[in-house]
Structure 1
């Protein structure tokens, strides 16, 4: 493994300043890095989560920026709550211009333990809300002549990882969802892409799933033997949200250090 790199310096995208951005699952991990990255670009950020303590701390840490981010508690598996929160956001700050569908839960499970309820709950937290959040913002984007929707997939199903069948089912479907939305909304100037993170070094991943031996195995399977960090995903997210990616739609963009399995 190479030496630890210097802190990432983000490119500046002037067109992101003052943009109205909604980020789901923004309180921790990758989502928190994305929230911070957009706020530092001068965007007006609202982020949704159910982890109150971490989310409130994140919002407080960025309160001195040009536009302080706003945290709204929202259970994305409750579609009535989703409808209400997007109506609230539009009323308070105007139509959403950039939607980042990041929220997910990669809990492990054995095939024999899956019940119908577990199936429904897993698809609700990992797939269903991405469509309905996109549906909620689409009218405002159409009226404005365009917008950006960024869905989050996962490397997991490309590698056929173990004990993640339902999570991988949802994440595979998100790539199809992205293509469908890109086609259906493209005539109105709305770009839709899918970001596919590799194994990202977040506090949750490190605490719950990985031993030093597993870490070494992942690094040896990557083309670049360096851990991918949340800010790497945030950097790609900024680019795809910006006008620099103005002709990018309906595609999957990987940030995984070239991980091809173990």
Structure 2
């Protein structure tokens, strides 16, 4: 478990029910760890059961209330809706939704089929909308809440090697604006987190080549590498009452890439 936390504490997150998608590894796991460390009641969904169970054990070993893991394929909207309902039944209304799950598999335009395109939209975009739809009544009845959708700087820089992923991530910013306007009268805030190139195990293993290192050095304003806790710490702020008047915005954490 990552224990290298900055000192910020958010009392409003204590005992608050938090729902994380794609929480077993990478940025999602760091979200789970950070919110558990704040005393939140965390549930997360993922397909990867083994790393999910390791994460639960790691959080418990660190002395925090362990998160609840619910196996779920987010392409199955009904399964996602059941997971949201199960979380609320067990822990009370969800007040924070972290729409983190996604997959940035590389592909070329000439290789994309309609089936692959639809799958990329289901994996990277569709579940964010339906998760927001599912938690909205709970947040409204509880007096408000915070939804953080996760985008990517890929659409801002126009990455050329994953056009379906880039399209989905661009759409998330538009969806965020629409939902923020609709949900705002119910004191539900909707923001979009836009990470840069985060050094998760997946990214380092698959794509961090010497050329990639040079690109980071050339493009980022800051020399340090982005890590998952850098994203989680911004998410804490956006989930907490400290950001009560922040909504309908993109929050970029990329070391100054764009």
Q: TM-score range by the shorter chain?
A: over 0.9
Deviation at 1:10, TM superposition (A): 3.9
Corresponding residue of 2:149:
151
Deviation at 1:84, TM superposition (A): 1.4
Gaps of 5+ in 1: 1-5
Q: For each residue in 1:130-150, what CA deviation from the matched residue of structure 2 results, as whole angstroms up to 9, or x when unmatched?
A: 000000000011111100100
Query: TM-score scaled to structure 2, two decimals?
Result: 0.96
In structure 1, C-alpha distance between the alignment counterparts of 2:217 and 2:122, rounded to whole Å: 32
How is 1:216-235 mapped onto 2 (pairs within 5 angstroms)? 216-235=214-233
Corresponding residue of 1:73:
71
- For the 8 Å contact 1:62–1:68, the answer to whether it is kept is yes
Corresponding residue of 1:28:
25
Corresponding residue of 1:110:
108
* Over 3 Å off, 4+ runs: none
Deviation at 1:35, TM superposition (A): 0.5
Q: For each residue in 1:188-230, what CA deviation from the matched residue of structure 2 results, as whole angstroms up to 9, or x when unmatched?
A: 0100000000000000001111212311221221111111110
The aligned length equals 255
Matched, 1:44 2:41: yes
1:57 to 42, 49, 54: 54
- For the 8 Å contact 1:199–1:228, the answer to whether it is kept is yes
In structure 2, C-alpha distance between the alignment counterparts of 1:10 and 1:189, rounded to whole Å: 28
Matched, 1:256 2:254: yes
Q: For each residue in 1:235-258, what CA deviation from the matched residue of structure 2 results, as whole angstroms up to 9, or x when unmatched?
A: 100011111101100000000000
Superposition RMSD in Å: 1.2
Q: Secondary structure at the match of 1:149?
A: strand
In structure 1, C-alpha distance between the alignment counterparts of 2:142 and 2:122, rounded to whole Å: 29
- For the 8 Å contact 1:219–1:227, the answer to whether it is kept is no
2:200 to 188, 199, 202: 202
Q: Secondary structure at the match of 2:161?
A: coil
- For the 8 Å contact 1:96–1:137, the answer to whether it is kept is yes
Q: Secondary structure at the match of 1:259?
A: coil
Corresponding residue of 1:13:
10
Corresponding residue of 1:128:
126
Query: TM-score scaled to structure 1, two decimals?
Result: 0.95
In structure 1, C-alpha distance between the alignment counterparts of 2:254 and 2:234, rounded to whole Å: 11
Q: Secondary structure at the match of 2:246?
A: coil
Q: Secondary structure at the match of 1:247?
A: coil
Deviation at 1:93, TM superposition (A): 1.4
In structure 2, C-alpha distance between the alignment counterparts of 1:12 and 1:20, rounded to whole Å: 17
